[in-house]
Structure 1
C-alpha cells in the first residue's frame, strides 16, 4: 500500500497564509481575519482571492481557473494551484513549501478521492505543439499585433481541447509560450488564458540587466523595437506574481520595468521601483498608450493609413502623397 500524508494533520498544522508567503505572494488588503490576494489561479487586477486563516478556508470571488476549484481548505488550494498534479503530489508540495514536519499515514478521506476524479473530468488536453506557426489565423493575429516578425523562437502553435460543462470536448488553437511552472500561456484573437498552472516566464540574457514585463506580447513588442538588446527578460504573465518577480529581480544590478498604464500597472511599477534597487520605470516609452503593444499597433495603423492615401500627380514634384 502506498504511503500518503495525513490530510487532517496538514489542515490542522499548515497555515495557508504561511504557504502563500513561502510561494512569494503577499496580501494586498487585510480586513479583520480576512486577507485578500491577487488571485494566483487566474489573471486579475483587483485582489479578490480571500483567505480566512482563522477558519482555514479560502474563496476566489472571480471565475474558477481550469481546475474548476474556487474555494475550500488548504488542500483544495493546492489542488487548484498545482493543477493537474496528482493528489499525493499536491500533499507533498504543501509540506515541502510550508516547511512543517508531519507524520505520514494512509489517511485519505473519500471526499478528496472524489475531488480528484472530478478534476479529471474537467481537464484539458494539448494535442500538438509546433515551434513553427503555420496556422493562417494565428499568423494574421500576430501580424495585426505587430509581433509576427519576432514570433519565431518565442511563440509556439498549440492545438488543444477542453471539456465543457456538458463533458463535450471542444478543439481550439492559439499562439502559446511556456511558463516556469509547466503551464502554457495561450492567446488568440478571442481568448487569453493559461493551460495548467500559471507562472512567470524567464529568458536568460545578460547577467547584470533585466527587463520586466506584465505580458508576453508587450515583451515581444519591445523586442521588435530592440532586436539586439541582450538583457535578460522576466514576463510575469499576471501581476499576482509581483512579489516573486521582485525577489527574482534583486540579483540584477539594472532593472527596467514595462508595466501597463493602468492603476494596477502603475502601482506595481511604483512598488517595484521602491523595493528593488536599480529599478527604473520605463513606461514613459509608450506614454499615451495602455501598454507597449498598443503603442506598436497604433504605429502600424498610422503607417497603413499613410500608405492607403491616393497618389497625386504634381507638375513640380512628380508623384507624391
Structure 2
C-alpha cells in the first residue's frame, strides 16, 4: 500500500475496522471517544467528506496517515502504511488500541484547599502585568490557597459549572477539582440574544477590560451571556449551552485548535456563529491584543 492508496480509505470505516464506533453523527461530522487517550466525553471528530480527523484534547489532526502515526506511535510512514494495510485485510480481527496509562496528576496531590476573595498583592501584580483590570478580575475570580507536597501555594481561581476551578499564577496553569466550562449570565434566569465564547478565562478578563475601556471594535454592543470553554477539549460540553442563542460570537485563539473549534460550531449552528478572531488576526489571543504583543512572523 502506498500513501495515495491509504488516503483513499475512509477514516470512519478504518476506525470501525479496528473497533471504534461514533458516539454521535451530525451534519457529516462523526464524534468518537478518542482512540488516542482515555476520556468520557467524545472530543475526537472526523469529517467524512474532507477525510480529516481532529482531536480537541491534544489539539492535533490530519489524514489517515497522521492518525496512524498517533495510533501506532511511530513517525515511520512505511510502518504506518503496513499497519493500515494489515488492518484493512484483517476485517475479522478488530482490535482496540490499548488505553493509555494516565500518570497521577499534580492536582491529585493538592490538599487543604481554601477559597477566598482575590486580594493577594502578588496575584494582583500578575494581573496588572497582563493589563487586566483589577476590579473586573475581583468580580469574576477568587483566590485559592493549597498545600502541595508540604509546601504552600496560591493562585487565581476561576469557577466552573461543576464546582471546580481553573487556576493560574505566573508559574502554574491547571484545574482543581472538576474540569468543566464556565457560564456567566447577564441576568439570572434570562437568556440574552448574544453569547460570547472564550477559550480561557484570561481571554474573558481581557475582553471585559477592553469593554470597560469602550473598545467597540472588538466588543459586542449590548447585553451578552458568556461561555468560557476552559479548554477546547470541553467542546462537547460547550455545544450543550449554545443552541438557544441568536448569535454566537467566538473569540478563540488564532491557531489550529481555535480554527477547528469554530468550524465545528459553524457545522452545528450555521450562520448564527460569528468568528470574531479576524478582529485580532495579528495576535494569538485577546490578552496578546490587550498587551499589544503581535505574533512573530517567519
TM-score using structure 2 length: 0.62
Structure 1 outlier segments of 4+, above 6 Å: 47-50
Q: Which whole-Å CA distance do the structure 1 matches of 2:101 and 2:211 have between them?
A: 39
RMSD after superposition: 3.3
Measured against aligned partners, the alpha-carbon deviations of 1:28-70 in whole angstroms (never above 9, x if no partner) come to 469xxxx98444xxxx4237997xx955952268x65346xxx
Match of 2:100 in 1: 59
Aligned residue number for residue 147 of structure 2: 161
Equivalences, count: 215
After the TM superposition, which residues 113-262 of structure 1 pair with which residues of structure 2 at under 5 Å, given as runs? 122-131=108-117, 133-149=118-134, 150-162=136-148, 168-205=149-186, 206-227=191-212, 229-262=222-255
Task: Tell me the residue number matched to 1:46.
Answer: 60
Give the secondary-structure state (helix, strand or coil) at the position aligned to 1:173.
strand
Corresponding position of 1:74 = none
> For structure 1, which segment, 17-26 or 149-158, has the greater mean C-alpha deviation from structure 2 after superposition?
17-26
What is aligned with 1:117? none
> How far apart are 1:229 and its partner, in Å?
4.6
Flag the 1:157–1:24 CA change in 2: closer, same or farther, 3 A. Answer: same
Partner residue, 2:74? none
**In the aligned structure 2, how far is the partner of 1:239 from the partner of 1:273?**
15
Q: Assess if the C-alpha contact under 8 Å between 1:203 and 1:233 holds in 2.
A: yes
Q: Distance in 1 between matches of 2:95 and 2:105?
A: 25
Does structure 1 conserve the Cα–Cα contact (< 8 Å) formed by 2:254 and 2:283?
yes
How far off is 1:216 after superposition? 0.4
Aligned to 2:276: 282
State which structure, 1 or 2, has the greater radius of gyration over its C-alpha atoms.
1
- Partner Cα distance (1:291, 1:188) in 2: 18
Q: Select the residue among 44, 63, 69 that pairs with 1:27.
A: 44
Shift of 1:244: 2.2
Unpaired stretches in structure 2, ≥5 consecutive residues: 1-19, 24-31, 48-52, 62-66, 72-93, 213-220, 294-298
Give unmatched runs, 5+ long, in structure 1: 1-14, 68-121, 163-167, 300-321
Q: More displaced, 282-291 or 226-235?
A: 226-235
Match of 2:42, SS state, is coil
